[in-house]
Amino acid sequence: MNRLRRRRAALQLALGLAGLGLAVIALGLGDYPLTPAQVLAALTGQETGFAHTVVVDWRAPRVAVALVFGAALAVSGALFQSLTRNPLGSPDVIGLSTGSYTGALVAVAWLGSGRLATGGGALIGGLVTAGLVYALARRDGAQGFRLIVVGIGVTAMLHAFNLFLLMRLREEVAMTAAIWGAGSIGLIGWDQAGPAIVALALIAPLVVACAPGLRQLELGDDAAGGHGLKVEPTRLAILALGAGLTAIVTASAGPIAFISLAAPQIAQRLTRSAATPLLASALLGGLGLLAADLVAQFALPVAAPTGAVTVVLGGAYLVDLMIREARRLR
């Protein structure tokens, strides 16, 4: 094993332990505080009273959702960034979240404001947007830069359309839609978290199966094809998986920005690794969303939606990225 791989393995272990540690702390935080020892007792079933109810039924869904959704968003970002070979080529930048919002708004406007309508609308909206961006960018195979430019254009158009829809909705319906649109994982219980987590868990092995193909595509289409990869079908499958991950998360929790943009890049910098490391991105994404959600709940004077915190943190990251790029180009 060479030095770069050793570094990556050590980092993955550290990130995994940090995520578990933070999860135990998070499960103890709230109006009924618990020590890590009490949390572990509740989790292992040694403690079955009120503490068990608080930890397992009330707090665990939110923590599990933060870890799993964060990981899913980060992997989605890693897949897209790796395909486009561009740190900006993440699903939120090329319009998937905005398209999910459009889908949710359309569903709310015409089908009613149930969770199923928003969720279903968001899922379809995200996937349709992904298909649209791919179709528009495709010409002799979707090339990275074109995908991003087309995606940014589609995002802008959908954004305008979303505002238009919001204006036309009745006030209370618009409020519901806007709350969803802020992106929050706090309103999710096991009944909603369960199906989403199962769906994501079903996609995970497919991502693992696609990983060698992704590594080949990083070498350029001709080298990958010369190694016997079916270039365009593989690219399409990876795009579909990435779009599916983001769409499922967005359908359940609303748009949560910047995890998919920042986590893969930070993971790459930390591992100093080739392109975007999938596992390290996933671990960092879960950790990041959990941390952002804790900030949203406890560190602010009033509790805020998780999406608002990731936007602020992500904005800071984007400024940092741009300053670095500007320095590098000077």
Q: Which 216-235 positions form the footprint of other proteins (CB under 8 A)?
A: 216, 218-220, 222-223, 225-230
Binding mask 134-153 for other proteins (x = CB under 8 A): ------x-------------
Residue 49 CB, shortest distance to other proteins, in Å, is: 47
Other C-beta atoms closer than 10 Å to the C-beta of 80 total: 33
- Determine, following the binding rule CB under 8 A, whether residue 4 of this chain makes contact with other proteins: yes
Q: Which is nearer to other proteins, 162 or 271 (CB)?
A: 271
**Residue among 212, 303, 315, 316 that touches other proteins (CB under 8 A):** 212
Which of the residues 39 through 98 are near other proteins (CB under 8 A)?
A: 85
Hey, what's the torsion of the CAs at 122, 181, 83, 154, to 10 degrees?
A: 80
Q: Which residues does 269 contact at the CB level (< 8 Å), separation at least 6?
A: none
Instruction: Name the one range near other proteins by CB under 8 A: 3-11, 115-123, 156-164, 171-179.
Output: 3-11
Host H or E run for residue 59: none
Q: Could you say whether residue 111 binds other proteins (CB under 8 A)?
A: no
Applying the rule CB under 8 A, the residues between 245 and 304 that interact with other proteins are: 268, 272-275
Are the beta carbons of 17 and 11 closer than 8 angstroms? no
Instruction: Say which amino acid occupies 233.
Output: P
Residue 159 or 215: the one with the smaller Cβ distance to other proteins is 215
CA nearest to 41, candidates 54, 32, 31: 54
Quote the CA–CA distance of 304 and 310 in Å, as a whole number.
11
CA-angle at 88, arms to 151 and 287, nearest 5°: 115
Chain residues that interact with other proteins, rule: CB under 8 A: 2-5, 85, 140, 209, 212, 215-216, 218-220, 222-223, 225-230, 268, 272-275
